[in-house]
A and B are shown apart, each in its own frame.
Chain A
């Protein structure tokens, strides 16, 4: 698909606003959007939310033959993937011009600054070395992909742990993850990029531009810096772009102080992640779901809650059951919701009652406790399959299959849109 065209008035408003020091989303010119860094349960999985821009990076490693020119070093390979999910004009599988720019800048910032000690990745000189591969997936494009991608890649590399290796003479033993604890990579310094959009012939620099600001700008200035205020990368792009040298110096100062803060934030997130893992109740990327502010509802207030109700008199001729008890049975990852009634002869039914419109403030819901024993790979998405089966005694059981979600998130008052037409729907 083609990108939606930029109208003259949008561009003019952004440019005029920036001249007055006013940005469309209310930030100041050197203010960054809210940054959230979360880690997954696998080592080396990191998701970064920069406002609405969402990027995920995953690090993996494999043993390869080192390059002949650098026989005593491991290898680092960075790959950026942009699919149509991120923006409608991205082609799946093929990096456009913007994708190549992102890929190249992340490589320059992380590889060329030599922040990872590659010599420590060597196993046997000229024969075996670790190749560390960073796959960066752009999940949502709302401006400033470069910063988000670099931060995600850096977070993932800091989080990653490779299998431990011992050398027995010339025999190489690669230990399994349960035999010996995995070893983190040696990170020498933490380089990050900070992008500025240039306006008004290079006189005004705006930190962390949104998509609209990027498209309206004359050009872009990308600076790679680490926590020691050392410059690792510098790039200016855009056709016919000017920039004044005072602007570059002031941008560098803003970027340097911001980089120090970001590296601190990254280190804190890593420490929090380690603490969560030590406690044992680890939820992984699910923690970022709670940060979602967008809610999809057809009604103006709140969510549709799942409510166990008495069945309707018109459906069954038998007398209604008193209180239907619901309990969740976790059986090897398939959670079954069984309803038991007081009288065995009557039916029990699960019906979704939609919230009465708007005015009602009272919230009635049931806390559904999954139990603390799902230790399989937690999956980001919850696949909800509602099956109705007619057992003997004419008892209908509605089975909800959840693909294991980490339990601690469910302990909170989770609400999910359960849409059921009652006839048995596979969603």
Chain B
């Protein structure tokens, strides 16, 4: 009973080590199936590597495991927020919460050349994209896209606030259906960077507003849509002074 076919067992709970095999009917179809986080192909089997609930998305047929984790495992293409801990030669060592510190080259910034490098101090925050994230090598970050253009990555201002949130909450916040950040934006104007490694950087006009926003986001971790709307309304009222 550990081997099940995909379509019948979405929204069920799986433990690491369970295998999900394609049944004969699935093999015959030529639909491309994309395996997301928590699933790995191992020969003919598909193994579950994280404990959680199996979820699916329509097109392309994507399957992944929704899990509740706090520790970040680097994945290529993720945008993360890291703290610069050291400068080693031409690159910086950045702590992103993974098992190894990531490296960020000092010329991986928009408009940077060997003679014109950005001024980054130890303790600064960088919002960067993971270029290399494999289990065998140290992760590598970049702050530009492949064409060298500025895509909103780079050093974050020191006048904001950084806080940590579990990874599933990050994914919820970044989901286009989640309206929390937009609703909070109606009450206050703020700048926010959400890192897939669980870190959120936020900057509002004053420290008080920044802290209020940070707390509102942290509290909404286990809330559903209705409760989040209620929270936002309460937030708006408080900011207006009621």
Contact = CB atoms under 8 A, between A and B. Distances in A.
Pairing of A with B: yes
Nearest to A417: B13
A167 interface: no
B157 A9 contact: yes
Interface of B is mostly: mixed
B162 interface: yes
Interface in B122-161: 123-125, 156-161
Contact of A296 (B68, B97, B160, B214): B68
B208 A22 contact: yes
B160 A304 contact: no
A295 interface: yes
25 contacts: A4-B83, A9-B125, A9-B156, A10-B162, A11-B123, A12-B159, A13-B160, A16-B207, A17-B207, A17-B208, A20-B207, A20-B208, A25-B215, A296-B68, A298-B52, A298-B66, A354-B13, A356-B11, A357-B11, A358-B225, A419-B51, A421-B1, A421-B14, A422-B1, A423-B1
Nearest to A9: B158
* Of A298, A315, A422, most B-chain CB atoms within 10 Å: A298
Nearest to A356: B11
Interface in A1-26: 4-13, 16-17, 20, 22, 24-26
Q: How many of chain B's residues touch chain A, expressed as a range?
A: 35 or more
B222 A297 contact: yes
Given A295-B222, A354-B53, A421 B18 contact: yes
A296 B67 CA distance: 10
Contacts of A9: 125, 156-162, 201
Interface in A262-288: none
Interface in A283-307: 295-301, 304
Nearest to B214: A24
Nearest to A12: B158
Interface in A176-226: none
Contacts of B15: 419, 421, 425
Contact of A301 (B11, B14, B222): B222
Interface in B210-225: 210-211, 214-215, 222-225
Contacts of A304: 13
B67 A298 contact: yes
A424 to B, nearest CB: 9
A4 B95 contact: yes
Given A17-B208, A422-B1, A423-B1, 12 more contacts: A6-B123, A8-B125, A9-B201, A10-B161, A12-B158, A13-B211, A24-B161, A295-B222, A298-B66, A300-B223, A354-B13, A419-B15
Contacts of B83: 4-7
* Of B2, B95, B224, most A-chain CB atoms within 10 Å: B224
Interface string A329-363: 00000000000000000000000101011110000
Contacts of A358: 224-225
B92 to A, nearest CB: 12
